[in-house]
């Protein structure tokens, strides 16, 4: 017995490596990137040792272990991140997002339910990864309107799209792989809607869990940038009313100007005369200077909605392209440094635009709120300036001794002129993938390339959208999966499950298969798990004299229970960044969901299949 165990030591070593890696992910003491590259290095070292071979005696090569870096699913995720960044940079989803946010203000519960149902029904008939990409900014906007962190909505977004994959044959590629193996083994075909009824029941159970458990088990976690955006820091800003300006002829209603949403008008400078609140029956005229107090978010929203204002600010429109190929305007905050040569001078005296290639949109002073024209404010050490300019200008300001640039506050204005192009590219990608004209991998790579070629985003923005953590974590997961499959560890676990459950009857075997697949799908890829377990499930059906269809469906439903780890499914990895999740968050929230789905399947299966 001992000799037999020693003969298969690579299998046990692979299982140990996977177990240790998951523990390190959960401890969260080291970054996921470091843990991922460490397990890849450990597996490479393990299978370079003498006698470290596959179960059939063949060599497990470096190419096999590193094949995850070129895996089509991983490349697809990277391409979709670029496509998503293109949608964000162009503001292509601003219209639908704002419509949903306005609807949320009137009917919050119905709007949130409607958004998730839209994700569900769309994901049931098309690849759910681009669907999640499209809904990421929408859910972020709804979370902001709710006054909650995005971490409360991002994991449910991924899980709802996974629920949808259980309901139709084309819901996920996993279903198609299992159906193909089923046809080869039994000559029977799985119909398009054969899994729908039971799948909807399981999805319903999962939805109820999300509704209840999300209030308790999901973290309310914000990153530093979110905290900054949501802060109530008020800047003094001013707008000059020119002929044809959106404020030209606007009249105050109850002392407020509706077009200046979330802003307080502190003064209107009309020639030599200063108009102070209350503004009863005041109509704005060309030549007026409107001095407002507003948050950065309010100013950003206004400038995004009114691209012509940026042209007014820059007079000749967007700045010329610099030597890096970048021309996009952005915002950044900068603090006047102690001992700065700018202290005691006004922005106009400094010739700030000539000096920095950036325009001062607003000034914030902690000690008091100023009521005067922006160009007449004498700067003091500690003042925060809200600067608008080309991204290259911000890079130049990093070396300034007069300004402390708050680089984490940097953001870019959407290139709204390319919004329609970005929408068409994305719709074309989704349609091509959904109709089978092209694989999701081909469609996403072409779409990402077109986003760059057609200037929806530049190469630097595309490079920044590629998440190294996602890349390394998925590559490590695929390496671990390859090790488990090659050494026979995965097949051993599968056969052990069937062997232990078979004395207790058909339902016990069916339930055990579901649980084993649901656990392994969160460690291996769901596609690999489905391919591995389908023949075992069909064989178990034959041994018990049962209809093989329930056993196939058990594999399909369980393979879609990818809730307990971020590496289990690509949409989990996509929401990990925007939701600010840690590895343990998935286990804490998704782990009980896996158990619940197993229990629901075990309870419903006898009634559904007549067992």
pLDDT in tens, 345-366: 888 887 777 777 788 888 888 7
Please list the alpha-helical segments (H only) found in 91-153: 94-106, 108-125, 128-146
User: Cα-flanking dihedrals φ and ψ of residue 56, to 5°?
Assistant: -90, 10
What mean pLDDT is predicted for residues 12-33? 81
Helix axes 154-165, 583-609, angle to 10 degrees: 30
Average confidence score pLDDT of the chain: 81
Cis peptide before 250 (omega within 30 of 0): no
Q: For the chain, first and last CA: distance in Å?
A: 38
- The lowest-confidence range among 44-58, 183-197, 322-336 is 322-336
Q: Is residue 547 included in any domain, yes or no?
A: no
Is the same domain home to 213 and 334? no
Q: Is residue 480 included in any domain, yes or no?
A: no
Query: Which residues sit opposite 439 in a β-bridge?
Result: none
What mean pLDDT is predicted for residues 305-319? 60
Q: Is residue 47 included in any domain, yes or no?
A: no
Q: Is residue 490 included in any domain, yes or no?
A: no
Q: Choose the final residue of a domain: 390, 411, 432.
A: 411
Is the same domain home to 385 and 262? no
Q: Which residue has the tokens 């039971």?
A: 198
Residue 367 clears pLDDT 80, i.e. is over it: no
Measured distance CA(75)–CA(62) in Å, rounded: 20
Q: What is the pLDDT of residue 228?
A: 47
What mean pLDDT is predicted for residues 437-464? 86
Q: What is the pLDDT of residue 604?
A: 94
pLDDT-derived band at 414, boundaries 50, 70, 90: low
Is the same domain home to 246 and 279? yes
What mean pLDDT is predicted for residues 284-303? 85
Q: Is residue 433 included in any domain, yes or no?
A: yes
Q: Do 88 and 129 contact (CB within 8 A), yes or no?
A: no
Query: Which residues sit opposite 265 in a β-bridge?
Result: 292
Is the same domain home to 210 and 234? no
**For 224-251, what is each residue's pLDDT tens digit?**
445 444 555 788 888 888 888 888 888 8
What mean pLDDT is predicted for residues 216-229? 65
Is the same domain home to 291 and 211? no
Residue 583 clears pLDDT 50, i.e. is over it: yes
Nearest alpha-carbon partner for 36 in 15, 50, 51, 22: 22
Is the same domain home to 269 and 351? no
Is the same domain home to 427 and 381? no
Highest mean pLDDT among 37-51, 203-217, 467-481: 203-217
Q: What domain range includes position 461?
A: 72-222+418-467
What mean pLDDT is predicted for residues 585-609? 93
Is the same domain home to 262 and 404? no
Q: What is the pLDDT of residue 316?
A: 43
Q: What is the pLDDT of residue 504?
A: 83
Q: Is residue 182 included in any domain, yes or no?
A: yes
Highest mean pLDDT among 116-130, 152-166, 456-470, 531-545: 152-166
Give the full edge-to-edge strand order of the sheet including 403-412: 273-275, 263-270, 289-295, 234-240, 359-364, 384-390, 329-336, 403-412
Residue 291 clears pLDDT 50, i.e. is over it: yes
Residue 311 clears pLDDT 70, i.e. is over it: no
Give the CA angle between residues 159, 161, 166 to the nearest 5°. Answer: 95
Is the same domain home to 79 and 184? yes
Q: Is residue 608 included in any domain, yes or no?
A: no
The tokens for 406 are: 């708050």
Q: Is residue 197 included in any domain, yes or no?
A: yes
Residue 475 clears pLDDT 70, i.e. is over it: yes
Q: What is the pLDDT of residue 325?
A: 46
Is the same domain home to 122 and 249? no
Is the same domain home to 113 and 190? yes
Q: Which position has the higher pLDDT, 7 or 291?
A: 291
Q: Kind and range of the H or E element at 274?
A: strand 273-275
The tokens for 289 are: 């200077």
How many domains does the structure of the chain reveal? 3
| Sequence-ordered list of residues with C-beta below 8 angstroms from that of 380, at least 6 positions apart, any chain | 336, 343, 344, 365
Q: Where are the beta strands (DSSP E) in 353-437?
A: 359-364, 384-390, 403-412
What mean pLDDT is predicted for residues 64-88? 79
Is the same domain home to 76 and 217? yes
User: Cα-flanking dihedrals φ and ψ of residue 394, to 5°?
Assistant: -65, -35
Domain CATH for 282: 3.30.70.1450
CA distances from 476 to 251, 550, 564, 565 (A): 61, 33, 17, 13
Measured distance CA(109)–CA(97) in Å, rounded: 16
Q: What is the pLDDT of residue 211?
A: 93
**For 516-527, what is each residue's pLDDT tens digit?**
889 988 877 677
């Amino acid at each position: 017995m001992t000799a037999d165990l020693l003969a298969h030591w690579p299998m046990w070593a692979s299982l140990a490596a996977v177990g240790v890696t998951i523990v390190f992910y959960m401890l969260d003491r080291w970054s996921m990137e470091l843990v991922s590259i460490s397990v890849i290095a450990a597996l490479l070292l393990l299978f370079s040792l003498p006698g470290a071979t596959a179960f059939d005696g063949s060599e497990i090569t470096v190419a096999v272990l590193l094949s995850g870096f070129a895996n089509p699913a991983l490349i697809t995720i990277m391409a979709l991140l670029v496509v998503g960044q293109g949608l964000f940079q162009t503001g292509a989803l601003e219209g639908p997002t704002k419509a949903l946010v306005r609807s949320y203000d009137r009917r919050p519960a119905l709007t949130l339910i409607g958004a998730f149902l839209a994700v569900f029904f769309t994901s049931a008939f098309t690849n759910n990864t681009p669907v999640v990409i499209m809904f990421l900014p929408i859910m972020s906007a709804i979370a902001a309107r709710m006054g909650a962190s995005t971490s409360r909505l991002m994991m449910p977004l991924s899980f709802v799209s996974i629920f949808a994959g259980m309901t139709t044959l084309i819901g996920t590629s996993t279903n198609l792989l299992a159906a193909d193996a089923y046809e080869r083994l039994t000559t029977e075909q799985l119909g398009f809607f054969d899994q729908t009824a039971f799948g909807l029941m399981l999805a319903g159970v999962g939805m109820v869990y999300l509704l209840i458990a999300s209030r308790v088990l999901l973290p309310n976690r914000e990153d530093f940038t979110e905290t900054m955006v949501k802060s109530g820091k008020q800047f003094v800003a001013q707008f000059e009313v020119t002929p044809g300006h959106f404020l030209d002829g606007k009249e105050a209603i109850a002392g407020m100007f509706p077009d200046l949403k979330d802003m307080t008008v502190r003064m209107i400078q009309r020639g030599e005369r200063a108009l102070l609140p209350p503004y009863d029956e005041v109509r704005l005229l060309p030549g007026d200077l409107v001095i407002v107090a507003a948050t950065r978010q309010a100013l950003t929203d206004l400038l995004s909605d009114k691209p012509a204002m940026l042209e007014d600010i820059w007079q000749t429109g967007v700045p010329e392209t610099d030597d890096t190929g970048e021309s996009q305007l952005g915002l950044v905050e900068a603090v006047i440094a102690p001992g700065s040569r700018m202290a005691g001078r006004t922005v106009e005296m400094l010739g700030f635009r000539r000096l920095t290639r950036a325009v001062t949109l607003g000034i914030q002073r902690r000690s008091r709120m100023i009521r005067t024209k922006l160009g007449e404010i004498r700067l003091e050490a500690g003042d925060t300036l809200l600067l608008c300019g080309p991204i290259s200008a911000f890079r130049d300001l990093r070396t300034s001794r007069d300004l402390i640039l708050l680089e984490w506050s940097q953001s870019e204005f959407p290139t709204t002129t390319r919004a329609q192009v970005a929408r068409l590219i994305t719709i074309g990608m989704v349609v091509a993938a959904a109709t089978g004209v092209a694989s999701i991998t081909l469609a996403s790579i072409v779409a990402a390339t077109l986003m760059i070629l057609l200037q929806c985003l530049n190469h630097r923005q595309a490079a920044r959208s590629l998440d190294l953590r996602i890349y390394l974590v998925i590559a490590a997961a695929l390496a671990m999966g390859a090790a488990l499959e090659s050494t026979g560890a995965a097949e051993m676990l599968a056969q052990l499950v069937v062997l232990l459950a078979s004395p207790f009857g058909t339902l016990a075997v069916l339930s055990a298969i579901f649980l084993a697949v649901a656990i392994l799908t969160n460690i291996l890829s769901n596609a690999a798990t489905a391919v591995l377990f389908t023949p075992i499930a069909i064989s178990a059906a034959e041994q018990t004299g049962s209809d093989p269809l329930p056993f196939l469906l058990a594999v399909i439903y369980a393979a879609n229970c990818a809730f307990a780890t971020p590496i289990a499914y690509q949409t989990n990895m996509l929401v990990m960044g925007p939701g600010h999740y840690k590895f343990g968050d998935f286990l804490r929230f998704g782990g009980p969901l896996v158990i619940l789905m197993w229990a629901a399947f075990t309870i419903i299966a006898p009634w559904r299949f007549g067992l």
